[in-house]
Amino acid sequence: MNPLDYGAAEFLGKQIHTAETWGAKDISITCDAVIVGAGPGGLTTAAILAEHGLDVVVLEGGNFWPKGTFKRQQSWALRNLYQDGGTRVMQGGNAFIPVASGRGVGGGTLVNSGISFRAPDWVLDQWSRDWGLDYSDRDKLFEEVEAMIGVEYTKPEVAGANSEVAMRGFQKMGVKHNFMPRNTPGCVGCGTCQTGCPSGGKASADLNWLPRALRKGARIHANCRVETITMKGNRAVGVKGTLREFESNKIIGSVEVNADRVVLAAGAVNTALLLLENDLANSSGMVGKNLHVHPGSGAVAVMDEEIRVWSGATQGYFAYHPDERNILAETFSAPPEAFFTQVGRIGPASAEFLRELRRMAACGFLVKDDTSGTITPVKNGPPNIQYTVTDSDLRKFITGIEFVTEMFFAAGSRKVRPLIAGKKFFTSWNEARQHIRGARDAADLMIYSSHPMGTCRMGDDPKRCVVRPDGRTHDHEGLYITDSSIHPTALGVNPQMTIMAHSLKLAPQIA
């Protein structure tokens, strides 16, 4: 299977339906399995169920984007490719933290950087020991995913100067580092993964798992918001929702699907919200709890050479912290306007920032968070997401910021700005380290997150878990979950590979 499979185009007119192609305004469907959500979990599950001979229907709240329809504009992408228009935020006692989630056929893979790590063995071993899960087949599962989506290490000629700086710095520090494993076999290094791949070189789920599902007869309905899970006694027997005009979000019809199996794969936030709003699968009281997000921060640096941080792979290089396995450093880039918005300065200092922008490099890190948040539905509004950073995670942030700041000085930067209160550049490592260690609260840091997981965790104990080891909910028959919400804890690496591997493992049991 080619990880960039545009041959699916022959199917689109018949099997992918959007607001423009529905025809009838009220749709009633009967099938073997209905899947809510067309991200990495939903599309992988759809492909495997269809290959097992099931009649599969996938309902997705976002749009379907054919090749060549993405615009390289941050504002356009936030409005069209992200949940809640990119405004989803967590709040708590000590910080407001953005949490990004993708939207559309392809889900988070439309806007991620293609980073493709296997789940760490020590994490899967913990899940086996503490949650009664079996990962004896992990190597086989990950090998199949890697082959399917085309994982390889980023080529140096594509990685860009930002990655070269990180390689130089981490090498001098003597830590484990490498070019990033990514599923981007056609990457041209344009640095705009987060606005949808304009070249079609990223093997997002709509370019591999989707065609695989379509070839076996699966049907996709985009622009369809599922609101009700239909129950018959203790068994899920279908879903109901509304058809939406994509631009206006105006309701233009309804959809009702009757199915023997209902699979939720709408992401850790939306899956939990759907269950809470329907008062289902929550005898444990754990639905919407245990939210983990891989929060992170980083540093930017001014180098002597031109970097053009917006050129090259969006995230082309990584390094492991030598003493803290819960910290993973990853370079990052963004278009100039987005970079200035995220880490720029105001007033007279902004002019100097812009003059030096071409020579700036950037590196972030993610934290395997011990902190866990909660999700609560809000009628006619975005969800209430509560997340208060613990002291142990605050210490990880300090360690992570020190890690990437030291790397830049080791790489030869003449001044580095940790993403911390004050927005100040430092000309010496000792001065920067002293400032970083002065942070006392998460509000002092610039924190971002983009990997929500854990809100319907999987395990063998119905008092602590929402989902059984075979993907069924503990409380109901016929109701399954195959997205990142089933992760028992934070993962510690970018999750798309693990989501797909879980779906590969669970789908045959669902079939």
Tokens (6 digits) for 5:
């499979």
pLDDT value of position 458 = 98
Residues 177 and 210 in one domain: no
Beta carbons within 10 angstroms of residue 429's beta carbon: 16
Residues 41 and 190 in one domain: no
Identify whether 173 is part of a domain: yes
pLDDT value of position 173 = 98
* Cβ burial 467-495 (10 Å sphere, 16+ → b, else e): bbbebbbbbbebbbbbbbbbbbbbbbbbb
Identify whether 335 is part of a domain: yes
Residues 208 and 273 in one domain: yes
Which ranges constitute the DSSP H helices of 285-381? 336-343, 348-356
Residues 409 and 328 in one domain: yes
Domain boundary among 446, 474, 489: 446
Identify whether 225 is part of a domain: yes
Identify whether 137 is part of a domain: no
pLDDT value of position 14 = 62
pLDDT value of position 348 = 61
Taking the C-alpha atoms of residue 362 and residue 109, their distance in angstroms, rounded to an integer, is: 22
* Cβ burial 25-47 (10 Å sphere, 16+ → b, else e): eebebebbbbbbbbbbbbbbbbb
For residue 276, give its domain range: 21-64+204-285+456-510
Residues 348 and 434 in one domain: yes
Residues 401 and 501 in one domain: no
Tokens (6 digits) for 498:
């693990």
Residues 192 and 210 in one domain: no
pLDDT value of position 11 = 53
Identify whether 239 is part of a domain: yes
Taking the C-alpha atoms of residue 350 and residue 340, their distance in angstroms, rounded to an integer, is: 9
Taking the C-alpha atoms of residue 261 and residue 45, their distance in angstroms, rounded to an integer, is: 12
Number of domains in the chain: 2
Taking the C-alpha atoms of residue 44 and residue 468, their distance in angstroms, rounded to an integer, is: 19
Is this structure's pTM higher than 0.75? yes
pLDDT value of position 340 = 63
CATH for 310 = 3.30.410
Which ranges constitute the DSSP H helices of 379-426? 391-410
Residues 470 and 506 in one domain: yes
Residues 255 and 343 in one domain: no
Taking the C-alpha atoms of residue 256 and residue 279, their distance in angstroms, rounded to an integer, is: 19
Identify whether 397 is part of a domain: yes
pLDDT value of position 96 = 86
pLDDT value of position 13 = 47
The DSSP H or E segment spanning 244 is strand 235-244
Identify whether 116 is part of a domain: no
DSSP label of 202? S
Residues 213 and 228 in one domain: yes
Q: What is the mean pLDDT of each run of 10 residues along the chain (511 residues)?
A: 63 68 83 98 98 98 91 91 92 85 96 97 98 98 98 96 98 98 95 91 95 94 96 98 91 95 98 98 98 96 94 96 98 77 60 83 97 94 93 96 98 95 90 93 91 98 98 98 98 98 98 96
CATH for 244 = 3.50.50.60
Residue of 457, 435, 8 whose CA lies nearest to 203: 8
Taking the C-alpha atoms of residue 245 and residue 70, their distance in angstroms, rounded to an integer, is: 18
Identify whether 231 is part of a domain: yes
pLDDT value of position 18 = 81
DSSP label of 373? B
Residues 216 and 270 in one domain: yes
Q: How far is CA 31 from CA 11, 15, 45, 260, 470, in A?
A: 19, 14, 15, 7, 21
Residues 331 and 469 in one domain: no
Domain boundary among 427, 446, 465: 446
